[in-house]
Structure 1
Amino acid sequence: MEREDEVEDRKELYRYQKEDIDAIFEKFEGKPDNFHLLYQLPTGGGKTVIFSEIARRYIEKYQRKVLVLTHRIELSKQTSKMLKSFGVKNTVIDSSLKDLPYDNDFSCYVAMVETLNNRLKDKKFHMDYVGLVIVDEAHYNSFRKLFTYFKNSIFLGVTATPLSSNVELPMYETYSELIVGEPIQSLINKNYLAKAEMFGYDVELTSLKLGINGDYTVGSSDELYSRSAMQDLLLHSYEARAKGKKTLIFNNGIVTSVYVYETFKAAGLPIKHLDNKTPDIERKKILTWFKKTPDAILTSVSILTTGFDEPTVEAIILNRATRSLTLYYQMIGRGSRKLPEKDIFTVIDLGNNAQRFGLWSDPIDWQYIFRHPEQFLENIRTDAEIESYHVYEMTDEVRAKFNKSADVLFNVEEEYKLAMDQQLRPKVVIEKSIRQHAVMCIENTESIAEARKLSRVLDPDIEYRVKQFTKFLAKTTKNYKEWLIEDYKNKLTVLIGSLFIKYQVFDDEEDEEDPVELKEL
């Protein structure tokens, strides 16, 4: 599929695009001048192509001008170029345009929200002749401040996700109706979008905090995703699923992204970091490098979710959790562009996002979300609910480190029931688990120092066992769980020392043909 910003000669529309355009014009018929219509189409479906043809047809049919609103300068430039390819004479209203004569010969304007708002407030521009206002990325609320200037204009909002970025300003208050375009799976089946091959890794997110915008805070995300365990998981998942592919890594904070850059750089991988503080000249250099380098990795924060289109991206890594459905679709959509040699792209999810929202290509009831956003948001699965279904499975790499141990499994639920049946204290379950871990470490090393070092790879297993154990207790707090994990690790370290000494004594006393088994100690 061609890039939308490189289609100077393209005027042919796909069948589903023509059908949607016809449906939109049918909705316009007989409606009052202030009618507001919302149109949903997945990222990669060609929304800029569609509303460029809508602008052309509207100007031709009604002999009135069109205004296209965008929220980023990159989108303004791309939109203006597309409109020109459809024969629509337009100009971009940016900070350099100070005056706009009433009798100008442009039939369409492309404007940044803030710039246009300032011009209209200062009464520099008069746009009562605009008949249709097209709002790109309509889920953003910055556009609402302009509505009062266009009370006699029809509005067409366009978005991939008809869910307001502000729960206090639901989209049904702004738009009367929603037209739903072709679903993602249909676009994949018809070879308009690439298929996402998704891989998820269960992540413990209980340390994340929610901010006033309803999503996870940057601070808590940086604290979690900068940890060495998360960096190791990221590098491991990349090498297992995406190595050699052109890859975008999305992070919630700059601190995390810089850590990612340093981790991958140390591993000898071709990577660069980009955020909203990167100077424009440097940003252009990085994006040019990314475009030209087949196995390039780009770790970024926020800025590449919209207004960025690089069809050669082969892998997306969500190195963050989000409770924003819009952001979830935007991030994955960066890899969905179809090319002759690209039918599939890889998605690695390190934030339980697919467990929260479903797979990217799953059917979704946009009409329900549009009409009942509050209920939808309330019913998003909580982290506690998601993590209650997580089951720890020791990786082959970790299992190989304990190859001398016959059994590395421990059923917390069964052990707890056994303890209760025998009227024992619940903590005997933890004590039994610690002992098993200690024996595993001793069996597979030659010294106390090596055994204690080996115990560190058991951290995920320890955290999972403790989490399972606390489910059976009457009341537990987050602080108690954290203390229990640390206490477990400390006791494991001590027990490794004492058991290793006992093992050495018995090993020296026993004949080689009749060794003492550690499990009997």
Structure 2
Amino acid sequence: MQPEEAERKELYNYQQQDIDAIFEKFEGKPNNYHLLYQLPTGGGKTVIFSEIARRFIEKYGRKVLVLTHRIELSKQTSQMLNGFGVRNTIIDSAVKDLPQDNDFDCYVAMVETLNNRLKDKKFHMDYVGLVIVDEAHYNSFRKLFTYFKDSLFLGVTATPLSSNIELPMYETYDELITGEPIKALIDKGFLANAAMYGYDVELTSLKLGINGDYTVSSSDELYSRTIMQDLLLQSYVARSSGRKTLIFNNGINTSLYVYETFKAAGLPIKHLDNKTPDVERKKILSWFRKTPDAILTSVSILTTGFDEPTVETIILNRATRSLTLYFQMIGRGSRKLPNKDYFTVIDLGNNAQRFGLWSDPVDWHYIFKNPELFLENIRSDAEIESYHVYTMTDELRAKFANTLDVTFDVEAEFRQATDDKEKPKVVIEKSIRQHAFMCIENSETVSEARKLARELDGDIEYRVKQYAKLLSKTTKNYREWLVEDYKNRLSVMIGRIFHKVKDNDDEDEDIELNKLN
């Protein structure tokens, strides 16, 4: 099976230097030596290992095997190898036998297919001298290693952190060699720079699964909420309107909600997930490629093996505790074009606060040697959110134009209550009172004031969270009750004092209003 040949790629200096360094590492090493090579997404890993395959075959006269985990990657790799003049074939489910005297110098194989053929003793690969493992952080490749005890191994990945904490990469690979970091590739003009915009998101409802990342069900529940859909749409309009945008979600339900939300707003959007039929998928990707302002909302399918340089915005409409996934998602927008020096990243999952900015330096050698410690020290959601400060959007602030000061210092009020030997609940009462006056003085009727109060949900939740933290020991159920009770009491207070404030019939109320302003 021979795909059409790809155009021969010219090697950049840093790529040539890394290739030379890899061959230096191989010199004098025993068979079954395993080397891991790290290079950021967009740095040209496929180009590099295709040239390594060509040079290895030429230098040692032995064959090369490239392992991939997806058929799309197999096809792309085969085309790239063709471009380097490497005679290769794809071993897929249609290949049932492989004669030992075949004319190919290189094989590109899916893990499961090759494993089945080797177990059935249909293939004999003693003549393979180098095994190249693409996306080496996946663990499905390990089952094949026993068949190649007389071969050198080169694992290639953007993130040398195993997808399974129980199978750390230092147990599979003898040594790690790193290529150019993201910042250097940006500075040298090989990658576009990322303009990153984050929005503080409350993630306490998310649950962790057995794989260490957030569960699909809890993510769907959070990101399908109206408040999150509104935040997504508003952030898109503010930061990416009219630009080609790729949205990553954790669940199919969320992505479908996103599709309906954007479609209702009259925006050009399509949905794609791993259940989308191949024919429809190809049509959608073709549409996305050709449409300048296209929006594609997706789930678990475009993080690897997808290359569309014209993407201008990446939206992380999900939270993840996977460093690999974080880099993979953002990397989809990093391809450089003559008219594309920057791309936009909108983070709706506190991900940059968890891992740092995309272009920040990363000590991959430390992570490779100490993956358990690295994972243990990833910032928790509670720690991240403890630094969040609620700020009204300009749009919301305009609705309270008649109020000079909309802030309320919960901590200062709590200290004051303690000094005055008052019960802590007085803090909540003062906060409710201030919110009531804010709504009243910016409304003409009670119903308008109560409607305006519903716009304060974010501010209310933030104030209650600050108050609960000062109480030290509170349960999640109690905090949720506090929020609901706050909203109910706010509605009651608006009704109780609305006419007194508007008619200035109560001198005390009028004085208090002036104090609050």
Provide, for residues 239-266 of structure 1, a one-character-per-residue CA deviation record: whole Å limited to 9, x for no partner: 1101111000000000100010011111
Judge conservation of contact 1:448–1:497 (CA < 8 Å) in 2: yes
Aligned to 1:298: 296
After TM superposition, the structure 1 = structure 2 runs for residues 111-260 of structure 1, keeping only pairs within 5 Å, are 111-260=109-258
Provide, for residues 297-329 of structure 1, a one-character-per-residue CA deviation record: whole Å limited to 9, x for no partner: 000001000010000000000000000000000
Cα deviation, residue 481, structure 1:
1.0
Judge conservation of contact 2:501–2:509 (CA < 8 Å) in 1: no
Q: How many Å separate the matches in 2 of 1:442 and 1:183?
A: 55
Aligned to 1:479: 477
Q: How many Å separate the matches in 1 of 2:152 and 2:244?
A: 42
Q: Report the 3-state secondary structure (helix = DSSP H, G, I; strand = E; otherwise coil) of the residue aligned with 2:293.
A: coil
Provide, for residues 202-254 of structure 1, a one-character-per-residue CA deviation record: whole Å limited to 9, x for no partner: 10101100000000000000111011111111011001101111000000000
Aligned to 1:281: 279
Number of aligned positions between the proteins: 513
Which amino acid in structure 2 is aligned with residue 331 of structure 1?
M
Which amino acid in structure 2 is aligned with residue 66 of structure 1?
V
Q: Quick check: 448-457 or 428-437, which moved more?
A: 448-457
Q: Does 1:389 align with 2:383?
A: no
Aligned to 1:461: 459
Q: How many Å separate the matches in 2 of 1:403 and 1:428?
A: 27
Q: Report the 3-state secondary structure (helix = DSSP H, G, I; strand = E; otherwise coil) of the residue aligned with 2:470.
A: coil
Aligned to 1:13: 11
Aligned to 1:36: 34
1:328 pairs with one of 326, 329, 332: 326
Cα deviation, residue 510, structure 1:
8.9
Aligned to 1:103: 101
Q: How many Å separate the matches in 1 of 2:506 and 2:494?
A: 21
Q: Report the 3-state secondary structure (helix = DSSP H, G, I; strand = E; otherwise coil) of the residue aligned with 2:79.
A: helix
Q: Does 1:519 align with 2:479?
A: no
Q: How many Å separate the matches in 2 of 1:477 and 1:81?
A: 57
Which amino acid in structure 2 is aligned with residue 411 of structure 1?
D
Q: Report the 3-state secondary structure (helix = DSSP H, G, I; strand = E; otherwise coil) of the residue aligned with 1:340.
A: coil
Cα deviation, residue 482, structure 1:
1.1
Aligned to 2:498: 500
Cα deviation, residue 6, structure 1:
10
Which amino acid in structure 1 is aligned with residue 476 of structure 2?
K
Q: Report the 3-state secondary structure (helix = DSSP H, G, I; strand = E; otherwise coil) of the residue aligned with 2:125.
A: coil
Judge conservation of contact 1:200–1:349 (CA < 8 Å) in 2: yes
Q: CA RMSD in A?
A: 1.6
Which amino acid in structure 2 is aligned with residue 352 of structure 1?
N
Judge conservation of contact 1:439–1:518 (CA < 8 Å) in 2: no
Q: How many Å separate the matches in 2 of 1:143 and 1:349?
A: 32
2:337 pairs with one of 323, 336, 339: 339
Q: How many Å separate the matches in 2 of 1:129 and 1:156?
A: 17
Cα deviation, residue 10, structure 1:
2.4
Q: How many Å separate the matches in 1 of 2:384 and 2:506?
A: 50
Judge conservation of contact 2:500–2:506 (CA < 8 Å) in 1: no
Q: How many Å separate the matches in 1 of 2:511 and 2:274?
A: 60
1:366–1:7 CA distance, 2 compared to 1 (3 A): farther
Q: How many Å separate the matches in 2 of 1:406 and 1:6?
A: 67
Q: Report the 3-state secondary structure (helix = DSSP H, G, I; strand = E; otherwise coil) of the residue aligned with 2:133.
A: strand
Aligned to 2:407: 409
Aligned to 1:436: 434
For structure 1, the residue ranges without an aligned partner over 5 or more in a row are none
Q: Report the 3-state secondary structure (helix = DSSP H, G, I; strand = E; otherwise coil) of the residue aligned with 2:150.
A: coil
Q: Report the 3-state secondary structure (helix = DSSP H, G, I; strand = E; otherwise coil) of the residue aligned with 2:344.
A: strand
Cα deviation, residue 478, structure 1:
1.4
Cα deviation, residue 269, structure 1:
0.6
Aligned to 1:264: 262
Aligned to 2:375: 377
Aligned to 2:45: 47
Q: How many Å separate the matches in 2 of 1:222 and 1:501?
A: 43
Q: How many Å separate the matches in 2 of 1:452 and 1:266?
A: 27
Which amino acid in structure 2 is aligned with residue 488 of structure 1?
Y
Q: Does 1:84 align with 2:78?
A: no
Aligned to 2:449: 451
Which amino acid in structure 2 is aligned with residue 519 of structure 1?
L
Q: How many Å separate the matches in 1 of 2:5 and 2:230?
A: 41
Q: How many Å separate the matches in 1 of 2:449 and 2:277?
A: 49
Q: How many Å separate the matches in 1 of 2:145 and 2:324?
A: 23
Q: How many Å separate the matches in 2 of 1:491 and 1:54?
A: 70
1:68–1:422 CA distance, 2 compared to 1 (3 A): same
Cα deviation, residue 501, structure 1:
4.0
Q: How many Å separate the matches in 1 of 2:472 and 2:448?
A: 38
Q: How many Å separate the matches in 1 of 2:208 and 2:349?
A: 14
Cα deviation, residue 472, structure 1:
1.2
1:426–1:106 CA distance, 2 compared to 1 (3 A): same
For structure 2, the residue ranges without an aligned partner over 5 or more in a row are none
Provide, for residues 333-365 of structure 1, a one-character-per-residue CA deviation record: whole Å limited to 9, x for no partner: 000000001010000000000000000000000
Q: Percent identity?
A: 79
Q: TM-score, normalised by structure 1?
A: 0.96
Cα deviation, residue 9, structure 1:
3.3
Cα deviation, residue 474, structure 1:
3.2
Which amino acid in structure 1 is aligned with residue 393 of structure 2?
T
1:369–1:515 CA distance, 2 compared to 1 (3 A): closer
Provide, for residues 92-111 of structure 1, a one-character-per-residue CA deviation record: whole Å limited to 9, x for no partner: 00011111111101000000
Provide, for residues 409-456 of structure 1, a one-character-per-residue CA deviation record: whole Å limited to 9, x for no partner: 101011011111110000000010001101111111111211111111
Q: Report the 3-state secondary structure (helix = DSSP H, G, I; strand = E; otherwise coil) of the residue aligned with 2:412.
A: helix
